[in-house]
Chains A and B, each alone.
Chain A
């Protein structure tokens, strides 16, 4: 079987996901266009009309980012009408799901070159804009124990014994690492500034980061999910199942959960042949991928099992993994993953910060953290890296790559 290689990985900076955010005025299609253009200009021998497919994750695929935005982006970016496009949704895992599906298709030999990634303009299309039976249909919610993911995150912290100070310390460290990485230019090769139609700069850096965040400064923030847990009845639903827990310790808040932001990310994946034909240099090989389902009410415990599955498929052990990137949906999720991986060192996890500091543009994040992982493997000259995300509805996804 042929290998799937990562030839390039780029992303937009992440803009604050509200009206005052720098990218609010930039349509999601424009975020994609900028990256698709950049892919062509930095890979001058790439013949875009020979790309087989563009696979993009979007989690709220309605309005500005609805109606198979991947195909629209192909046309708008002038890749050529022969290039197909598909939008997929595996919630927060969508960006990595796009990478994994593209890799599998390339590896099968049925396709040669695919652009994978995702986009989410959370300032323009708010989370949950697309409804869905799990949250909105009482019969389904009652039968399958729906609670919002923040309740699950707090329940993880409660079960694992993570205190408010513990999760805040993790969050402060994420901020410090991100600030340092930005200052040292670790993202410079991958973050493509967003420009308007005149070429004028709109945003060239991750603007969500709050340098100087400390446990003390975070301590002023009130818990985000205590109220819906109580008055919304969601704590009661979760505790029906987790019947040894007397009450949920609501430790998560805006400062130790992932930020709401706008952004897009792309990864160029192809076989060896395609690389040669298009003058591309392979940066990493996709070693294995995995997706799993986990208990849906606590919802966010999927990364551990997904990582173990990917390791097994790769024939590797956790000791082989030099770096781990986990989406920091909530501090407790990342902390639990390290515990689930046999107390995997924090020093090798999210070494350049994560979504708590930089934000989590839902459909794009998986592609973004995979790019960050490849960049850092190269910078450190390390071999194996693993990217993973927790996923709504109780799922987990993971990808292992080997630097070339």
Chain B
């Protein structure tokens, strides 16, 4: 079999062409590591034999992308017993790159496409990086998968940019940058306009630096090198260093993300020692993450599950892709205005209809405001913004909906009103138009009763604020056709959001599960848990917003409305409504005139729309109990209640796939990303005793049930899986 790295020589210039014969993208697998070592060995030998025969080295890719990074499938199998082998393997790969960067000849990376993670790390071991202009990405996004750039990425960026800039601009957030941005950040030295210019530019650079020893030496290997911004022992940096970890914790709101901690530690410790020692420190911190659970959780969600969804994992087979050109958005409130914005953004014509033209215009003004901001910041030209806005047509007349191939209704949550709206529009829009409703709770099947084509009726549930939230929940009613599901997925893809598909049920998946979370949090208040502890437990568990604060945003009056509808539905079916402990608190808050942020008063106080602090009367109204529950319990109650409800959604067939459960829970309702989603949390639950997995989760659920109530009892599906020692998949 041919090598994964080919050694080609032309005119004294060696081209190391990375081209894994077994895959369509290059990854840091055994083939690469063996092949690259062999190629660099040969290079070093040939330089030793006749230094003048070689002018320089190009590292390039024969694939569409430059290099995809690590082999995640393999890496996620790692256990603590593999630590030494992983360390040796990583050190081996890095030793090759170190030999390359110290070979004495100028080395240039020719970046022809995506260079993320390990790909960029190879390029960083070169003395120069030239990239082709394009829509692909460059960066070290390891942190987003619970990893650190352990292929020299930490050690080299710290030496290139200094501790502060390397941490802030590259490592801790792991931004993916277009070539031009990567150049502005200093990750890339030169950008050329086309693929054809790439290798010539690389060769030209090598020719231009002949005889220049500096060009063939990394800055940190030059005599007199000083780290930008100073090392930790310099007083200038030492003064600020203690605030690095504390600020990190502040940004993480106390959530125990391991990767950024390891990145910061490897960076700071590495900055105090020589390159090779720093590189080993980096490897050790990488190995710690590789064998740990968070990396496996985050990679499951953000790589495997997300890839599955993006590859159309939930899209019915055999349906032709559909492209929508004209969408009717009904209701120009906050949601409607946002939906109009995201649709017009990708070039769709939008008719934004409300009862009055004035209301519709107001909805359009939302887009105007967002666009003006971008123009101000120089991210968009005025012309582009004008074109964008011209695609949104405010209207108060159903006749304007003519020609629409998609409807997204976002009027008040009332079955009757929605029936009426669809009745009025269904004969105006195109006869095959997809009929979508942005309801967050009303059953799609009953809404579909109001239209002539229930098979074309579907739930398209956006999250607020629409322009920022990445998720869209697609809800299939009883009669919704596969073609409509496929169509809705096509629309979501068109507006560059992430879809999940669920079956019809009250509250669908997201609203139902977040309801249990909010009830659990407010219920703690009823138990006499200190309100500040409740808020801290939420954020320290990894949720983006504290639960009482979120409740103010969600609006308790709306919650009561939804509750009453659910209650009526349960009773209509002959069941008995069992009130949650939270309900009395919610009712009391409304009675006190503190229902929401919208009304300027809730669990928090607000001044001029700004949250100023918890309501000073809170502990008087809901006294703090003398004995407080275990703080860890508070955190786990919030994550467990969501995961248990998610399992029930799988059991009942509301959820169709585990990737939808994981991604939906993280992107839609703030389930802590470090757990990899509501189901991955179950599959990879780390118990206090060190055991990991579904059985440990089940035991803990039973423990919580004993202390806090039956709602934590494991559902049948969980018991069965735990008994068989199987993951939920």
Interface residues, chain A, with chain B CB atoms under 8 Å away: 131, 135-139, 141-142, 146-148, 228, 231-237, 239-240, 243-247
Contacts and interface: CB of A to CB of B under 8 A. Distances in A.
B532 A138 contact: no
Interface stretch (B42-50, B242-250, B363-371, B644-652): B242-250
Given A138-B268, A142-B265, A237 B249 contact: yes
Contacts of A135: 241-242
- Centre residue among B232, B536, B614 by max chain A CB count within 10 A: B536
A233 B250 CA distance: 5
A148 B242 CA distance: 9
B613 A246 contact: yes
B254 A138 contact: no
A233 B536 contact: no
B155 to A, nearest CB: 16
A142 B259 CA distance: 13
Q: How large is the interface on B (under 10, 10 to 19, 20 to 34, 35 or more residues)?
A: 20 to 34
Interface string B244-262: 1111111101100000010
B261 A245 contact: no
A244 B532 CA distance: 5
B637 interface: no
Given A136-B232, A240-B540, A234 B614 contact: no
B238 interface: yes
B243 A232 contact: yes
A240 B252 CA distance: 11
Given A236-B249, A244-B530, A246-B614, A141 B242 contact: yes
B250 A237 contact: yes
B472 interface: no
B451 interface: no
Given A135-B242, A142-B245, 16 more contacts: A135-B241, A136-B232, A136-B238, A137-B265, A138-B241, A139-B269, A141-B242, A142-B249, A232-B246, A232-B247, A233-B248, A233-B249, A237-B249, A237-B250, A239-B536, A244-B530
22 contacts: A135-B241, A136-B232, A137-B265, A137-B268, A138-B265, A139-B265, A139-B269, A142-B264, A142-B265, A232-B242, A233-B247, A233-B250, A236-B249, A236-B254, A237-B250, A240-B536, A240-B540, A243-B532, A244-B530, A246-B532, A246-B614, A247-B613
B111 interface: no
Given A138-B268, A142-B261, A243 B249 contact: no
B245 A138 contact: yes
A271 B242 CA distance: 45
A236 B628 CA distance: 21
- Centre residue among A142, A237, A246 by max chain B CB count within 10 A: A142
Contacts of A146: 242, 245-246
Interface in B177-234: 232-233
A144 B251 CA distance: 18
Given A139-B265, A148-B242, A240 B249 contact: yes
Given A243-B631, A244-B530, A139 B261 contact: yes
A136 B241 contact: yes
B168 to A, nearest CB: 13
Nearest to A235: B250
Contacts of B613: 246-247
B600 to A, nearest CB: 19
B325 interface: no
A138 B264 contact: yes
B310 interface: no
B569 to A, nearest CB: 38
- Centre residue among A135, A139, A247 by max chain B CB count within 10 A: A139
B96 interface: no
Contact of B246 (A137, A141, A243): A141
4 smallest A-B Cβ distances: which pairs?
A233-B250, A233-B246, A233-B247, A236-B250
Contacts, number: 83
Contacts of B265: 137-139, 142
Interface string B375-393: 0000000000000000000
B537 interface: yes
B35 interface: no
Contacts of B269: 137-139
A239 B249 CA distance: 11
A234 B247 CA distance: 7
Interface string B630-648: 0100000000000000000
Contacts of A136: 232, 238, 241-242
A246 B605 CA distance: 13
A232 B242 CA distance: 8
A173 to B, nearest CB: 31
A146 B243 CA distance: 10
A206 B261 CA distance: 46
A346 to B, nearest CB: 30
Given A136-B232, A138-B261, A139-B269, A243 B242 contact: no
A144 B571 CA distance: 53
B29 interface: no
A393 to B, nearest CB: 14
Contacts of A228: 243
B567 to A, nearest CB: 34
B627 to A, nearest CB: 13
Nearest to A232: B243
Nearest to B254: A240
Contacts of A236: 246, 249-250, 253-254
Given A138-B268, A139-B261, A237-B250, A244 B245 contact: no
Nearest to B268: A138
B626 to A, nearest CB: 13
Contacts of A148: 242
A243 B537 contact: yes
A131 B269 CA distance: 14
Nearest to B285: A139
Nearest to A246: B532
B533 interface: yes
Contacts of B245: 138, 141-142, 146
B606 to A, nearest CB: 15
Contacts of B233: 131
A235 B533 CA distance: 15
Nearest to B264: A138
A343 B628 CA distance: 27
Nearest to A243: B536
Nearest to A236: B250
Interface in B509-566: 530, 532-533, 536-537, 540
Contacts of A231: 243, 247
B277 to A, nearest CB: 15
Nearest to A234: B246
Given A147-B246, A233-B246, A131 B261 contact: no
Given A137-B268, A233-B243, A243 B250 contact: no
Contacts of A246: 532, 613-614
B544 to A, nearest CB: 15
A238 to B, nearest CB: 9
Nearest to B249: A237
Contacts of B250: 233, 235-237
A131 B246 contact: no
A131 B243 contact: no
A148 B244 CA distance: 13
B278 to A, nearest CB: 14
Interface in B274-307: none
Contacts of B532: 243-246
A160 to B, nearest CB: 17
Nearest to A129: B235
- Centre residue among A138, A139, A228, A233 by max chain B CB count within 10 A: A138
Contacts of A137: 265, 268-269
A160 B508 CA distance: 48
A376 B265 CA distance: 50
Nearest to B540: A240
Contacts of A240: 249, 254, 536, 540
Contacts of B536: 239-240, 243
